[in-house]
Amino acid sequence: MSKLIFPQEIEVWYILPLIRRKIALKLIESGLPQKKVAEMMGITPAAVNQYKKRKRAKEDVFDEELEKELINSIKKIITNNELLGKEIIRLNNLVKKRGLICKLYQDRCILGKDKGSCPYCKD
């Protein structure tokens, strides 16, 4: 029997780190130095470096629509860094609405005959 893992754990272990990685990399692409990005995000420069080297948040479940939303978030964050938390929450909610937490849950937590169904959302 597989270990019981809740969808919230998928968010904490996979989705939120992915969102932070994508934001950090887009901020660097926009021309901000790595140290400034770390400062803006309240993380260490070493964490940003690990995002760059894909040592953290390796997987990517963003589709084209979410990538567009990420770009919108980056524009807002560059203009007003105080919106960072709000944009992370907004992106996380979009990931949930698109069923990507269930996909990650299915890929990691359900074994054998139950694979392909999420016991939490039944979708």
Quote the CA–CA distance of 121 and 102 in Å, as a whole number. 8
- Give the model's pLDDT for residue 62: 87
| Domain boundaries along the sequence of the chain | 7-114
Contact 123, 102 (CB under 8 A): yes
> Length of the chain, please?
123
Per-residue pLDDT of the chain in tens (123 residues, 90 and over written 9): 456 677 788 888 889 999 999 999 999 999 999 999 999 999 999 999 999 988 877 778 888 999 999 999 999 999 999 999 999 999 999 998 887 777 777 766 654 445 555 665 554
Residue 56 zone, left/alpha/beta (φ > 0; ψ -120 to 50; rest)? beta
Helices 64-79 & 84-97 angle (0-180, nearest 10): 170
